[in-house]
Structure 1
Amino acid sequence: MRYLLMCTVVFLSLTSSYGQGFFNTEKIRNKDNMDKQRWSWGYFLGFNSYGFDLQYNKPATDIVVKNDIGFNVGLLGNLRINDYIDLRLEPGVVFANRTFTYTEIPEDNFRDIKSTYIHVPLLVKFSTKRLNNFKPFVVGGVSRSINLSSNETNPDDNSAGEFRMINDANYFELGFGIDFYLPYFKFTPSIRGVFGMTDELKRDKDPNSPYTGQIESMKSRGIFINFTFQ
């Protein structure tokens, strides 16, 4: 929750600083015909906070999960449906890092989980009417990712110090943002929640493993803050 609050504060601070002057009714409209194009392209940079939603099959189980700040980069393809709806594809690379501390294991109880995802969301963007040089929107959709650092095919498991995840996972996503129309390009800060629908844990060979035996499901949860340029 603290990461969500932190990311939201950063997002609102940035959009506020960029938004000064956009609310003036006398403002000259920049890039007035940009949203009339059938197709448009761009790229994005941003950061993320990835965690896990852990469900246990044993009572009184506790694994401490720590989320670090990661980095996102990718491309944008946007298809205009009408003045208020767009369909967009945002293939990118997501670098995320999480750590597990197993409080019930006295030794070798720490796992550093580094993930590199090829992340491909298909999203629907619902925008308001453009107001001078800005336009708020909400966005939602589904996504699929390939975890290049999953270790799924590694024959070693936690008994040899290797934490494993599956390669592929599906998610649904929901967020909001604001399009700012600058003189030479459109700048869009946005914040989005990513919610895993797939159990990503690759279990150890031993069904009673203290590292994976108590976990019923392990689904990713993430917050993205992206800055898009078109």
Structure 2
Amino acid sequence: MKKTLIKTFSLLFLGMFLFTQAQFRNRDRQDRRQEQDSYQYSYGFYLNLNQFDYKLVLDTKYGMEDKVNLVQTKPTYSFGAGLIGRMRLNDNFDLRIEPGLQFVERELTFNTQSNDQYAADASNPFTPKTLTEADMVRRVKSTYVDIPIMLEIHADRWYNSRPYAAAGLNYMVNLQSNSSSTDDNQQGIFRSTTHNFAWSAEAGIQFYFSRFKLTPAFRGTFAFNNEIVADNAGTPPYWTAAISTMQTRAFMFVLKFE
């Protein structure tokens, strides 16, 4: 599925680029939708292709052995969609809120069988078990309600285009966090926090057409808080004990329609 999504967005971006090139090469071109820049408020929607991953800081005792990381993370490609609300501040600044849904799947691999050596540790004794593939691999599905509030700064228009950059803060609610589950990794349930906070930075170019404004952009989102929820007391230290900090990081290609 991810290959299909990548091809679709690549072809769409290529077609849009060729079309806009043809439009802006026209010597008799007209400035389109000039009135839209002066609106106090405007709205729209967006579609995006995303790549979500975790930034991991591993526990030096349970998460590393001889400087080798025992936990690995693997990102995947997926998609999202949302709405756009814009408030004009002045000629060069806008305030934006862009609530959306991001559908995510990530994979964590725990090569932590070597933690058997700590089974007799007086502070945290446990009974070793042989880890199967199902124990070692966690496919973490997440559905984020992502609410970024961003301050946008844009240059003056050049005919029917305008570059911009934006940055702001995100409130992200993970609807599949399993944070309230009483089961943990010993029962195959990986838990993370429901309420999360992040910052985002974005850059792109706004293209003006006769009926709408189209904006291709690239966005990076980076979580502030630690999203790991520790396993229950008594669970062997094969899983969350190996991770000190786990934070979301995401990269997106966004197409906005206003």
- Higher-Rg structure is 2
Q: Which residue of 2 aligns with 1:95?
A: 103
Question: Aligned match of 1:40 in 35, 38, 42?
Answer: 42
Question: Aligned match of 1:86 in 80, 91, 94?
Answer: 94
Q: Which residue of 2 aligns with 1:215?
A: 243
Question: Aligned match of 2:194 in 167, 175, 189?
Answer: 167
Correspondence list, 1:100-111, <5 A: 100-105=108-113, 106-107=131-132, 108-111=135-138
- Give distance in 2, aligned partners of 1:93 and 1:173: 16
- Give distance in 1, aligned partners of 2:100 and 2:200: 15
Identity of aligned residues (%): 29
Q: Which amino acid aligns with 2:71?
A: I
1:219 deviates by 0.3
Q: Which amino acid aligns with 2:40?
A: R
Q: Which amino acid aligns with 2:256?
A: T
Question: Aligned match of 1:136 in 144, 155, 163?
Answer: 163
1:66 deviates by 1.3
Question: Which structure's residues are more often helix, by fraction?
Answer: 2
Q: Which residue of 2 aligns with 1:3?
A: none
Q: Is the 8 A contact 1:31 1:181 kept in 2?
A: yes
Q: Does residue 1:19 correspond to 2:20, yes or no?
A: yes
Q: Give the 4+ runs in structure 1 shifted more than 4 A.
A: 9-15
1:64 deviates by 2.0
Question: Aligned match of 1:156 in 175, 180, 183?
Answer: 183
Q: Does residue 1:77 correspond to 2:85, yes or no?
A: yes
How many residue pairs get aligned? The number is 224
- Give distance in 1, aligned partners of 2:221 and 2:213: 24
SS at match of 1:20: helix
CA RMSD, Structure 1 to Structure 2 (Å)? 2.0
- Give distance in 1, aligned partners of 2:13 and 2:168: 23
Name which of structure 1's ranges 24-33 and 66-75 shifts more when overlaid on structure 2.
24-33
Unpaired segments ≥5 residues, structure 1: 1-5
Q: Which residue of 1 aligns with 2:59?
A: 57
Q: Which amino acid aligns with 1:213?
A: A
Q: Does residue 1:227 correspond to 2:255, yes or no?
A: yes
Unpaired segments ≥5 residues, structure 2: 1-5, 114-130
1:12 deviates by 7.3
Name which of structure 1's ranges 101-110 and 170-179 shifts more when overlaid on structure 2.
101-110
Question: Aligned match of 1:114 in 126, 133, 141?
Answer: 141
The TM-score, its normalising length taken from structure 1, stands at 0.91
- Give distance in 2, aligned partners of 1:194 and 1:22: 33
Shift of the 176–22 alpha-carbon distance from structure 1 to 2, 3 Å rule, reads: farther
Q: Is the 8 A contact 1:61 1:214 kept in 2?
A: no
- Give distance in 1, aligned partners of 2:112 and 2:237: 12
